[in-house]
Each structure stands twice: as C-alpha cells, then as structure tokens.
Amino acid sequence: MISFRRPILGFAVCAGLLLCGSVRADAAGGKRVLIVRDESPDMPGGRVLVDQLENTLRKSSAAPIEFFIETLDTRRFTGDQYERRLADLLVEKYAGMPLDLVIAYSEPAFKFVTRARDTVFPRVPVLFGLLDQRFVGPGMMPQRSSVVYVQLDAIGTARLAMQTYPRMRRLLVVGGSSRMAAHHSRGPATARDESPRRVRRRFVSR
C-alpha cells in the first residue's frame, strides 16, 4: 500500500518501478504494458491519466515500451456473461504477446482483473491504482500485485467552493453510478455549510 499527495504522479512512478523490476525471457525487443480501465475512451480525465502513465514509463525505461489499452465500459455493458466473454477475448488477444505489467485503475477494473487474473494475466505483475482503501477488503489483493490508494476530499472541495464563491446559493453535485462514485458525490451534497447563509444542494447520479 502506497499513498501520495499527487496520486496520478505517484501511480505512474510506481508503475515505472514495477516495470523496471519485471524481467521476461523474450523481452530483448522491448516491454509490453496493458492498461485496463473502465470509462469510455472519450472521457478527458482518463486520457490525461493514460498520457501521464505512458510518458512516465517511457522516461523510466531504457527499453522501448508497447502499450495496450482495454476499456471495460461497465456503465453500458454488465453481467457475468459479458465479463466471461471479455476475459476469453483478452486471452486470445494476448496469447502470443507476453505482458510485462498490467495496470488497472478504477473499482470496476480492479474487480475484473482480480477475478480474471488466473485466466488472463497469470504470473504477470499487476498495479492497481486510484482506489479508495475502503473498497478493498482483506484478502482481495492477488499475488504479485501492488496498489496505490487515493483519498478524495469531496466534502473539503465543496466547502472550498463555498468559501471561494461567497454569493453561491446552489450546489449541484454530479456523480457516477458506481458504489465509489456515489459515496464520494454524496459527501458534498450533505456537507454542513458553516457560513451563516444557506446553500441549496442537489445530488445527480448518472
């Protein structure tokens, strides 16, 4: 378990350390890294994170790195059958491409990789990131895996917004549908306003 004040940079640094320590028999021509994420590839936040990971890893590795990105998109596609078919597809795709490192970020990616680890990613080091520690129970971490936790101060963000904009009268909180997103989004919606004025709060979940 590792904690950073700048979680994205810390996540990328840990990935670089794991990749440097990964040795594969046929790695003379370079290294291969698979990034597993949940959200749609057109989400700007995800693109920023992937760019940071790729840039940091390329700077820290003397060997060329080939990146692969898989998107789960569990907001639109769910169910055990979908997950099994996706795992079978990944087995077929990477059967002839031994991986040096698997990076998975977000709670859905964590769940998928831990369940499919023995079938899809056996013996490959895995780095999980941007997870709230409360959602990773005892015994859930597989072997040869590391995690970088992130702490999101949603209530503090809401209070800072109220202080920055003293004339604020309404606060709209937009959250996702996952358990982690709902938990963090409801924090600002229920945060106690310490100023004498009243701020109306509304919580919207996708």
Domain boundaries, the chain: 2-149, 154-205
Specify which of 7-21, 34-48, 123-137, 186-200 reaches the highest per-range mean pLDDT: 123-137
Distance, in Å, from the CA atom of 24 to the CA atom of 30, rounded to the nearest integer, reads 10
Q: What is the pLDDT of residues 24-83, one digit of tens each?
A: 545 556 889 999 998 765 666 677 788 888 888 888 888 899 999 999 988 888 899 999
Q: Name 205's Cβ contacts closer than 8 Å, sequence gap at least 6.
A: 174, 175, 176, 177, 181, 182, 185
- Answering whether pTM is above 0.95, one says no
25-34, 116-125, 159-168: segment of lowest average pLDDT: 25-34
133 contacts: CB under 8 Å, gap ≥ 6: 1, 149, 151
CATH of domain 2-149: 3.40.50.2300
pLDDT value of position 202: 61
- Average pLDDT score over residue span 88-107: 92
Residue 110 has pLDDT above 80, yes or no: yes
pLDDT at 4: 40
Residue type, 186: R
Pick from 52-56, 154-158, 180-184: least confident: 180-184
